[in-house]
Amino acid sequence: METAAEENTEQSQERKGCFECCIKCLGGVPYASLVATILCFSGVALFCGCGHVALAGTVAILEQHFSTNTSDHALLSEVIQLMQYVIYGIASFFFLYGIILLAEGFYTTSAVKELHGEFKTTACGRCISGMFVFLTYVLGVAWLGVFGFSAVPVFMFYNIWSTCEVIKSPQTNGTAGVEQICVDIRQYGIIPWNAFPGRICGSALENICNTNEFYMSYHLFIVACAGAGATVIALLIYMMATTYNYAVLKFKSREDCCTKF
């Protein structure tokens, strides 16, 4: 009987020890950095994936309808191809940078100190943490520009779509004035003014809006813009996390204090 009671006591102590260990580990997780990493990966994936396909669809629409002469949009095709390669680089960079920031968040928590022994911050560690703060702020400002730039094709496609809706409306459908409702893509500056035809009107414009290329490109640009916005939010969270970590490492390093942010 005593042996059974002792075994039950030992088992309960083991369960209690495992429970306390799990709570301790969960309490040391940098949740802000974790949420920012998930949001950053999702936003960059949406921006890069949808943006890449939408750019290819845009080139197809221009070549088939707005600029039949290849030389008129040759520069635009090269720029779009370059942007597609840049998208590959952005995806790779943010995948690595997100992992590094998440690891930096984990290694500045009290869970790391308690699991791997006491440690003291060094000038090199504080310098690296400060570098992450500066780099994250720079990337945040840069992605604000990317977010604004990604809204430009959404605006352009929205104008074309809204013009097609006017053509389809009962007030104008079937009337002679339909052929006078036009969209001149040259006014956006993406193709030169001597590009032919450059302007599409009436039923021809409605046919463009009914194509799969237009429908997919329009909605993919919207999703890419939303992905850029999600990345901006993720970088803002990273800013707060890295700034808090750096402040604690700098001002409380003598107290051997770690962060849980």
Per-residue pLDDT tens over the stretch 4-17: 544 555 555 455 55
The β-bridge partners of 182 are 201
In this prediction, residue 203 has a pLDDT band, given cuts at 50, 70 and 90, of confident
Cβ contact 238:40 at 8 Å: yes
> Would the pLDDT of 129 be above 60?
yes
| Inside any domain, residue 248 | yes
| Inside any domain, residue 210 | yes
Per-residue pLDDT tens over the stretch 69-119: 888 788 888 988 899 899 989 999 999 998 988 887 777 655 344 444 455
Cis status of the peptide bond prior to 153, with omega within 30 of 0: no
| Inside any domain, residue 16 | no
| Inside any domain, residue 217 | yes
144-172: buried (b, 16+ CB within 10 Å) or exposed (e) per residue? Answer: eebbeebbebbebbeebeebbeebeeeeb
Angular region, 184: left φ>0, alpha ψ -120 to 50, beta rest: beta
Per-residue pLDDT tens over the stretch 204-249: 888 898 899 999 999 999 999 999 999 999 999 999 888 877 777 6
| Inside any domain, residue 48 | yes
Specify the higher pLDDT residue, 106 or 192.
Answer: 192
Instruction: Give dist(CA 37, CA 31) in Å, integer.
Output: 10
When mean pLDDT is compared across 53-57, 90-94, 115-119, 126-130, the lowest value belongs to 115-119
Per-residue pLDDT tens over the stretch 20-48: 666 666 666 778 888 999 999 999 999 99
Look up the domain containing 167 and give its range: 33-112+122-252
The tally of domains found in the chain comes to 1
Per-residue pLDDT tens over the stretch 143-186: 999 999 999 999 999 999 999 888 888 666 656 567 788 898 88
Neighbours of 77 (CB within 10 A): 14
Neighbours of 74 (CB within 10 A): 11
DSSP 54-72: HHHHHHHHIIIIIB-SGGG
| Inside any domain, residue 40 | yes
| Inside any domain, residue 4 | no
| Inside any domain, residue 10 | no
